[in-house]
Amino acid sequence: MVYLTNSTDVAVVDDADYDRVSKHKWWANVTSHTTYAMTCLRDGEKYCNIRMHRFILNATKGQKIDHRDRHGLNNTKDNLRLCSSKQNAHNRGPLLEFRGDAVKSQYKGVTVHGNGIYIAVIREDGRAYYLGSFASEVCAARMYDTIARLLFGEFAYLNFPKEPPLPTPINWKNFKKKSAFVGKGKFVGVTHRRSVWIATCNKDGFNHLGEFDTEEQAVVAYDLLNVWLDKRQARINYAERLDTYMRHADAVIFNSPTTKEFRARLLIQVLDIVRGFKV
C-alpha cells in the first residue's frame, strides 16, 4: 500500500513496483468519477504532475490507461490496460449528477420519462440509440447491458455484470423513440380512451388487438403478439415475463380465421397470464 499525503485513502500497487513508487510522495487527485494518486516529477528543466497508473506503465504522451474495476487507486498491473479514449468512456460508471442536480436513475444508460417509464439509451460514435421503454428500471438497465456487451466487449460497463444478457432485438438500431409514447398510456402499444385500455400493434397486418379493463391486460396483449411474431427477439414492455409469454404465445393462434375468434383467444391467454402473476 502507498499512503497519500492529503487523504486517508491508500493506493495499491504490485510488490514489484512498490520500491520504485515509494520513492516519491503521492497525493489524492479527486475527479468527478474516481480518485487517482498523483506526484510531481522532474522532466528535463521543468516539473510536471503524473498519475500513478501512468508512472507504473511508463505511458507515453497520448496513451490512455483504463482501470478495469474503475477504482483509480487500484494500480496493480492486472487492473490496468491500455485503451482508447472511447474505450475508457465505455467503462465509466453511471453519472450521479448533472449540472449540480441528482440524476433520476442509478443505472448507466437509463433515463426516467415524465410519465413514469424507464428509457434505455446507448451512445456510440456520437449517436444515441433508443433501446426501448420499460415499466421496470432494472429491465431498462439490463437492456443497456445487453447492447453494451455487443458494442463495447470487455470495456463495457455493466449495471448487472452477473446477470445474463436479455434477448437482443434484431433491429435495435432502428427503434424510434417517438413510437413509444402514444396517447395516455405509459407503455408501448397501449392507450387509454373512454375508461378502457386499448392495445395496438402496427406490424404484419395487425392493428387493433382489443379493449381491456386494465392497463396491465392491454400491455400483456401487446407483448404477447410481439413474442408470437418475433419470438425471443421481441421488443416488449415486460422483459422479465418473456419466458411466460413464450409458453402462452402459440396457444393464441394469431392466424385465426376471424378477427373475433383471434381476439377471444387472445383475451383468454391475457387473463390467464395476469392471474398467474397475481397469485
Q: For position 179, what pLDDT does the model report?
A: 40
Digits of tens for pLDDT over the chain (279 positions)?
A: 888 988 888 999 999 999 999 999 999 998 878 899 999 988 777 888 999 999 999 988 888 999 999 899 999 999 999 999 899 889 988 876 544 444 578 899 998 876 677 888 898 887 888 887 777 788 889 989 999 999 999 999 999 999 888 777 666 666 655 443 334 456 778 887 777 888 887 766 667 788 888 888 888 888 888 888 887 777 787 777 888 888 887 776 555 556 677 777 777 778 888 777 653
Out of 3.30.730.10, 3.40.50.2300, 3.30.1280.10, 3.40.50.720, select the CATH number for domain 97-174.
Answer: 3.30.730.10
Contact 94, 108 (CB under 8 A): yes
Q: For position 183, what pLDDT does the model report?
A: 40
Q: What is the dihedral of CA 130, 171, 149, 167, to 10 degrees?
A: 110
2's enclosing H/E stretch is strand 2-3
Q: For position 99, what pLDDT does the model report?
A: 47
Q: For position 258, what pLDDT does the model report?
A: 62
Q: What is the DSSP string of 194-240?
A: TTEEEEEEEETTEEEEEEESSHHHHHHHHHHHHHHHHGGG---S-GG
Determine how many CB atoms are found less than 10 A away from the CB of residue 221: 28
Q: What value does the CA radius of gyration of the chain take, rounded to a whole number of Å? A: 25
* Domain residue spans of the chain: 2-83, 97-174, 182-278
Grid cell for residue 69: 474495476
pTM for the structure as a whole: 0.62
Q: For position 31, what pLDDT does the model report?
A: 84
CA dist., res. 197 & res. 252, Å (int):
20
Contact 241, 226 (CB under 8 A): no
DSSP label at residue 166: P
Q: For position 184, what pLDDT does the model report?
A: 43
Q: Is 50 exposed, middle or buried (0-12, 13-18, 19+ CB in 10 A)?
A: middle
Residue of 146, 150, 177, 172 whose CA lies nearest to 159: 146
Q: For position 278, what pLDDT does the model report?
A: 54
Residue 167 backbone dihedrals phi, psi, to 5 degrees:
-55, 135
